[in-house]
Amino acid sequence: MADTLSALNCQVPEFSAAMTGDKEFHLSNYAGKNLVIYFYPKDNTPGCTTESIAFRDLYPQFESANTEIFGISRDSLRSHEGFKKKLDLPFELISDPDETLCLLFNVMKMKNMYGKQARGIERSTFVIDATGKLVKEWRGVKVAGHVDEVLEFVSAKT
């Protein structure tokens, strides 16, 4: 597996990871579908909750656009299961405690948190098309209106 993705319109290398529902994510299992993969800093925090609810509420429209959604953070599967249940999310969450996927997608950044420098996930969203190519990325995402923009992008691709 490559250390980081190199560029838009390049094939995403095969990867796998543990996810909620006692399942294992394998990129190759989703050939023929668009994937929205959103990285968020932490379960049960205000921005991450708002973003996840927005993806939940528009999930049927994403499905209509032949698109699956996956959320990724460094939280444990146990934390993810609770977050998913609490918000009634219809999609799976991927646990990345060792930052393998965070590094692949290059989302780890130094951030200011309460006046201190801390290393964390930069809220980012990626679209992988039905052929496995990275076709769109949003970095440093502001939650308001973001999910509508992602839906608009994937809907235009179908």
d(CA 84, CA 82): 5
Annotated catalytic residue 48: yes
Amino acid found at 120: G
Check 12, 17, 48, 151 and give the catalytic one. 48
Catalytic positions = 48
